[in-house]
Structure 1
Amino acid sequence: MIGFADLYAKIFGPWIEGRRWTGANIPTDAIRVFYGRDHVPGRNEVVQGGIVKCQDLATVFPNTPVDPNIVYLVSSALPATATALLKAAKRAGARVVLNQNGVAYPAWHGPGWESTNKPMKELIRAADHVVYQSLFCKMSADRYLGPCSSSHEILHNPVDTAVFVPGGALPLAQGPVILASGSHVQFYRVESVVRAFALVSGKFPLARLVLAGHLGWRPDEREACGEVLRLCRDLHVEDKVEIRGRYTQEQAIPLLQSAHILMHTKYNDPCPRMVVEAMSCGLPVVFSASGGTPELVGDSAGVGVAVPQGWKKLHIPAPEELSGAVETIIGRYDTMSRAARARAVEKLDLKSWLDRHGRIFREQLTAGAG
């Protein structure tokens, strides 16, 4: 059954997107980027997912909804009119750059994953250049969307290492603070963290757990929150767990700075931005060794818990192994904290990512003029 937003986009999308190009004589060497939406949220607004990359880019390449010569779309934050926008951009001679995140696959999405992938499949075939967020993103896109025939490259999600800096956490001896943050759209992500934390708190009685971000596996978030609270009571850690709500990019900084360790248990996460931000703040990461996360953390900035690789079943790290990973990090905390920060600065800094995008845009304009 087609939803109202899809029906609206299908009927009015071609008219809405076609009007973006007025036929004005725009200098071909002027980079004019449109991110698929008239408004790119500011850092003081609550957002989640792929739109954060557009926030980064818009600081250097402002959003240009009228007469753009480059359309930059993020696969995990596509506008409802993406198909119409793609066709209008091609007719106008604009270049299309796709930032490809993950794909829908059976274990994560369930029935209907083919329909969810359809817009991405159209985009990846028509894009003039594709930026894959990780090697895992490319591998999964090749499998479920088909290989890309245009120019492409891998650019991991970045972090502003001048803004996301260490500082603010109490000494580790006063109790390790474990953080699990982001968009929790499936209960297992929170459940695995809480169960692991219950084991951690048995060895480190002063330990605390902070759960931050959207609890999105129930239609009513209050129901999801109640489910977490019941689990905490059952495990006798309710007085050691703090549940916070959604947060802005600005609020993410003190949130990370007040913690010691990030625990990220999502299976096959394509390229989690929160992991990169945590590393930049000096937080070692306990993670599911699947998806693109190992590419970000490497061997020195955290401890991964091995899980089987696959697409038809979610493989969740055992609480005992997650707890053991936390204990390993606590035993080597200063060394691993410095390594996390160093890896973010050396390999994942925002400036290099923005500079490369500037070159991509110029290369695309040159190719379009040729």
Structure 2
Amino acid sequence: MDISEILSTKFTEFDIDTPLSKVGGAFENQELDAVVVMDGEEYRGVVSRRQLASSSNQPSAKVGTQVQHVPTVDRTEDVREVARLMIGSDAKTLPVLDGDRVVGVVTADAILEAVREFLDAVTVDDAYSTELRSVTPETTIGKALNTLRKARIAHLPVVDDGDLVGMVSLYDVIEFTTRGGTRSQGGSSDSPGGRGGQSQGGHGAREGDSDRMLDLPVENLMSETVATVRRSAPLDEVVETMFEQEISSLVVTADETDEPVGIITKTDVIEALTWEQEDQRDVQVSGLDQFEGLSRDDVSTMIESVTSKYGDMSVIKASVELNEHTEQSRGVPLVLARIRLVTDRGYFTADGEGYGATHALRLAANTVERQLLKGKTYGQSKKHPSEAEQEELYGWWLGG
């Protein structure tokens, strides 16, 4: 799959001598992630929303001083390769060139929209970051801003005694301090920042006001609406939530306790598209600690006994989830086992319910094997790609 059908020929560009204050105004468009910077007819680079919000340059500074040199691609570039370039350059927008001429841009959102329906067998647990940086309601806005900038992230969950109570974003902090502490009404957490000159003039001594506002607690600024997702949720639901709520990250919670355990961002999902066959890891198993007499090696051996029968099939990722029910038979608990396989022949998932983990696993493994024999992929009630679409996807994603 190449990017020819998902690139956008509508993009915003500025000359290198344009003041940053004017460039900041362009980000009034909430959908705009980055602008293209030109020197006459010559392409120079891009400036992103996050880059502008994180900078401390004067509003009168020229946009050319903030240019980021990201990779450029052509219209026939493979989507997987574009995903790799985005991850490698920490950019969500890449210019598309025809020779030396910029003919469009390809964005992370466009890629996610194009592949969303293929992500239903990959879970949050496969992709999320367990390094959850957070602040408390009493943390000062200045300290939160410093954390956001140092970590090069855009959102910080606000946690109070283990409870998730809000979210503070880089863009809201910048807007809050540059606009005199007046919060925008009805805006999203991606409201534009770095508006430079627009915050100067007519408001008195803004620098002193900004310093005092940085000493306020983040509870004065945080959004109390926070989107969460459980570790077991499929990535297609994550992307759908992100698009529906116009956000770029979700707090990940444990399936059993709803305790915040990590965060998943659009970048994490894009990175999942770059998985290679040689990146195959050991079988990921969750819930195993509930059961005695069953080791991780036992689970891996059982999965391998099923997949090894198909020599022409490569397993890229395999995960097993075990959940114990309260029901028992002769002291043996009823267990639900769920197996997910990401292979070069498609996605496969199956559940098995039996008394004891080993029995449940065998039932799930038998179901997966029947799916492999029939050539089925992950089957649920929702619509899935046709065989032709699957073949195209696996061709570009898995390099087949």
TM-score by length of structure 1 reads: 0.30
Answer 1 or 2: which has greater helix percent: 1
Answer 1 or 2: which has greater strand percent: 2
TM-score by length of structure 2 reads: 0.28
